[in-house]
């Protein structure tokens, strides 16, 4: 004999679940803020528990490179500089000496190169080689102030930007990349300069960089402000 009361309770539970699913529900006004609060907590867990400033991402043989790495930008067409020689990376915010660095100046700074796996939030992954200057070297050059807690990266791709925690930005594998797969960085992947780090999801790596700003307040970001996890660490 089926226990009627128990069956009703089960049906109520299953009914709620299928109703939730039927709407493609993002939580609505009642639950969405709660989900975002948990996401903020997960940011903290990601930075304080999982992330280590000394742990390096595994490197791969050059032979394992992916032939075609997808290219993403938010502008309607490929973002290109009208006058590439006039481009400068503005380094500003909580620093002793703000800078406007040319590509030649960046080339002259310490160089890091690695072949690593790229993890996209969508679930795909691909291997590529990147070279460029560590963000920590830029921080040293401009005299980053102790009050700095975050870094904001801005681009000329229709205002695309990202905010980073300082620990991830200072990681030895976090670089301002001007080269990909032994060649100059192509426009499809963020020329002349993009952020790269194997400790972050792809959407955290700002392409088409124009400025880098050290801040005390947590900066938002293009996808982060729409609900994607802010920390985005892998």
225 near other proteins (CB under 8 A): no
Chosen residue from 13, 15, 98, 110 binding other proteins by CB under 8 A: 13
30 near other proteins (CB under 8 A): no
61 near other proteins (CB under 8 A): no
11 near other proteins (CB under 8 A): no
Binding window for other proteins (CB under 8 A); candidates: 81-89, 91-99, 122-130, 185-193: 122-130
Chosen residue from 84, 122, 145, 147 binding other proteins by CB under 8 A: 122
CB of 92 vs other proteins, minimal distance in Å = 29
Give the span between the Cα atoms of 20 and 25, in whole angstroms: 6
167 near other proteins (CB under 8 A): no
Cβ-contact 216, 147 below 8 angstroms: yes
Chosen residue from 198, 202, 219, 221 binding other proteins by CB under 8 A: 198
- Interacting residues with other proteins (CB under 8 A): 1-3, 5-7, 9-10, 13, 17-18, 20-27, 32, 34-36, 38-39, 42, 46, 50-52, 55, 57-58, 66-70, 117, 119-127, 198-199, 223, 226-229, 233-234
């Amino acid at each position: 004999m089926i226990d009627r009361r128990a069956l009703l309770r089960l049906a109520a539970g299953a009914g709620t679940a299928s109703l939730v699913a039927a709407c493609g529900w993002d939580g609505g006004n009642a639950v969405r803020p709660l989900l975002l609060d948990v996401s903020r907590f997960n940011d903290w867990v990601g930075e304080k528990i999982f992330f280590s400033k000394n742990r390096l991402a595994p490197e791969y043989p050059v032979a394992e490179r992916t032939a075609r790495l997808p290219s993403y930008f938010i502008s309607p067409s490929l973002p290109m500089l009208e006058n590439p020689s006039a481009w400068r990376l503005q380094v500003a915010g909580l620093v002793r000496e703000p800078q406007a660095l040319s590509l030649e100046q960046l080339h002259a700074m310490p160089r890091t190169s690695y072949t690593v796996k790229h993890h996209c939030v969508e679930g795909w992954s691909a291997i590529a080689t990147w070279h460029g200057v560590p963000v920590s070297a830029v921080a040293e050059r401009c005299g980053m102030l102790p009050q700095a807690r975050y870094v904001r990266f801005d681009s000329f791709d229709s205002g695309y930007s990202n905010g980073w925690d300082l620990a991830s930005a200072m990681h030895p594998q976090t670089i301002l990349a001007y080269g990909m797969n032994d060649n100059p960085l192509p426009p499809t992947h963020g020329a002349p300069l993009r952020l790269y780090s194997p400790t972050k999801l792809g959407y955290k790596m700002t392409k088409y960089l124009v400025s880098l700003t050290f801040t005390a307040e947590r900066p938002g970001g293009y996808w982060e402000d729409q609900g994607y996890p802010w920390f985005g660490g892998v």
